[in-house]
Amino acid sequence: MKRSFCLMLAFLAASGARGQEIEKVQPAGNVRNALTAVPLGVARQYRLSARDLVTFRDPQWSVLTIAQIGAATADAVTSLNNLNHCAGCAETGASRIFVGRHPDLHKYLIAGIIEVSAEAVTAHYFRSRPSSRKWHWRMLWTVPQSLSLYEHARASKENTAVN
């Protein structure tokens, strides 16, 4: 009787000790929190986008990005040309909020780099998602860059028509 009682007591103590095990604490450097996860994810997406643009891994996305860069450049050049030759001319539209009424080249460069890179990374993110195999994602990835490409091409056409 004493043996069975000791065996039962050992069995109950062992199972109770397992239920109360303490989880090991992770070192502070390995903890991923929301404050660092989002910026690191965005930085990783920028890095992947830059790599794919330089190596031309995704030709459709790369051509659209290069066309967007060309349209933004044409818009900036024609806008600067108009602003330099016409004293009464001023920047209009949504870009006026970011570059001002009479912008210099550096304002166009900074705004263009921010706009094109953000839209290119967004399109690259949409295109590289696993859900891109669905029919609506196949065309949705082109929307951010296509709208910007159209607006810049239209604006540069209007700028050339002013002269």
* Non-local CB neighbours of 67 within 8 Å, separated by 6+ positions: 149
Tally of domains within the chain: 1
User: Has residue 151 been placed in a domain?
Assistant: yes
Residue 54 has pLDDT above 70, yes or no: yes
In a domain, 20, yes or no: no
Mind listing the pLDDT tens digit for each residue in 87-127?
A: 888 888 777 888 888 888 999 999 999 999 999 998 888 88
Q: Does the pLDDT at position 33 exceed 90?
A: no
The pLDDT, as a whole number, for residue 97 is 86
Q: Is residue 35 one of the residues assigned to a domain?
A: no
Q: Identify the residue with better confidence: 80 or 8.
A: 80
Asked, for residue 34, whether it belongs to a domain, the answer is: no
Structural domain that includes position 79: 52-163
Mean pLDDT score of the chain: 82
Whether residue 90 lies inside any domain: the answer is: yes
Q: Does residue 144 lie within any of the structural domains?
A: yes
Query: Is 162's pLDDT higher than 90?
Result: no
Tell me the pLDDT tens digit for each residue of 69-89: 999 999 999 999 998 888 888
**Inside any domain, residue 22:** no
Question: How much is the average pLDDT of 40-52?
Answer: 91
Please check whether residue 11 lies inside any domain of the structure: no
Whole-structure pTM value: 0.73
